[in-house]
């Protein structure tokens, strides 16, 4: 499949988060929303079936604006290998080993492309945002309830990096350095930046990205903490902010075939001669 052309209908992207499920049709020529975003609270018991009901409401709401049988992109804060959710750090444990892409496809009768939330945001930043057309190795980190990461080399995603769970000084990194921890512990930006410094130093020592894009809601205040972090890589705030998950999911729905990491390959199914 070639990259989506400017003249086609918008593609729906849906971002599943711990507190809200958000969706919007995306104009893939610009990476902008083609209509106002719809947000519905995540059900208190956020099992795959209950979340699929909310996703269906969002699809219904926008059905007049998107291609009737086109694919829909959906993000989830979990590892997703070949449509199966494998982890559940900050979501209901029933997602572990769930055939989630199939649950959504059965519920919606449409082709679904399910991806990790940070991976979708990374793709959006590389296609339309702070890392657009970057010629080297880009790491996106989202600082939120947890820490999500996406690794992209020349626009190609290496999915499910999960570097938010690096063990640093005996702790799961996101339990010390996510922005939710800053809020919970009432840390000043200076104190939090010391934890971020430790985190990014470690990430840099292991991966050596050329550029680190820092996303998540707190990136709107990046001037308060990014200048305090000193590493070799260039660090910049994300450009798409809270639209990145939706935009990346929509882009991937239309262009999944361009991302080898998301396409089933012979070693994961049957080898072909």
Instruction: Pick the closer one to ligand BGC by CB: 129 or 144.
Output: 144
Number of residues that bind ligand BGC (CB under 6 A): 16
> What is the DSSP annotation of 39-73?
EEEPPSS--HHHHHHHHHHHHHHHTTTS-TT--EE
Binding to ligand BGC in span 6-25, by CB under 6 A: none
Structure tokens at 70: 């086109």
Of 59-67, 86-94, 98-106, 241-249, which part binds ligand BGC (CB under 6 A)? Answer: 86-94
Contact status: 105 vs ligand BGC (CB under 6 A): no
Is residue 159 part of the contact set for ligand BGC (CB under 6 A)?
no
The residue from 27, 92, 105, 117 that contacts ligand BGC (CB under 6 A) is 117
Query: For residues 248 and 73, what is the distance between their CA atoms, to the nearest angstrom?
Result: 8
DSSP class per residue in 131-172: TTT--SEEEEEEESSSEEEEEEETTEEE----GGG-EETTEE
Distance CA 160, CA 134 (A): 20
The footprint of ligand BGC on residues 191-250 (CB under 6 A) is: none
> For residues 187 and 139, what is the distance between their CA atoms, to the nearest angstrom?
25
Site string for ligand BGC, 38-77 (x = CB under 6 A): ---------------------------------------x
Binding site residues, ligand BGC, CB under 6 A? 77-79, 87, 89-90, 116-118, 142, 144, 146, 148, 162, 164, 174
């Amino acid at each position: 499949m070639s990259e989506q052309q400017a003249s086609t209908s918008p593609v729906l992207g849906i971002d599943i988060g711990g507190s809200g499920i958000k969706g919007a049709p995306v104009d893939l020529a610009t990476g902008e929303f083609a209509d106002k975003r719809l947000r519905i609270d995540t059900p208190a018991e956020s099992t795959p079936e209950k979340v699929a009901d909310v996703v269906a409401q969002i699809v219904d709401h926008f059905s007049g604006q998107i291609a009737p049988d086109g694919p829909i992109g959906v993000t989830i804060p979990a590892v997703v290998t070949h449509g199966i959710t494998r982890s559940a750090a900050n979501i209901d444990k029933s997602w572990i080993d769930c055939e989630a892409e199939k649950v959504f496809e059965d519920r919606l009768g449409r082709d679904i492309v399910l991806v990790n939330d940070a991976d979708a945001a990374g793709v959006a930043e590389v296609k339309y945002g702070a890392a657009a057309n970057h010629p080297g190795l880009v790491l996106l980190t989202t600082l939120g309830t947890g820490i999500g990461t996406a690794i992209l080399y020349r626009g190609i995603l290496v999915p499910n990096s999960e570097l938010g769970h690096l063990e640093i000084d005996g702790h799961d990194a996101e339990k010390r350095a996510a922005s939710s921890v800053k809020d919970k512990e009432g840390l000043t930006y200076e104190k939090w930046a010391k934890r971020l410094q430790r985190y990014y130093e470690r990430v840099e020592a292991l991966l050596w990205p050329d550029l680190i894009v820092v996303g998540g809601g707190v990136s709107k205040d990046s001037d308060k903490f990014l200048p305090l972090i000193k590493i070799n890589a260039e660090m910049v705030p994300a450009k798409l902010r809270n639209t990145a998950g939706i935009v990346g999911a929509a882009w991937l729905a239309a262009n999944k075939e361009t991302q080898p990491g998301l396409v089933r390959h012979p070693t994961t199914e049957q080898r072909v001669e």
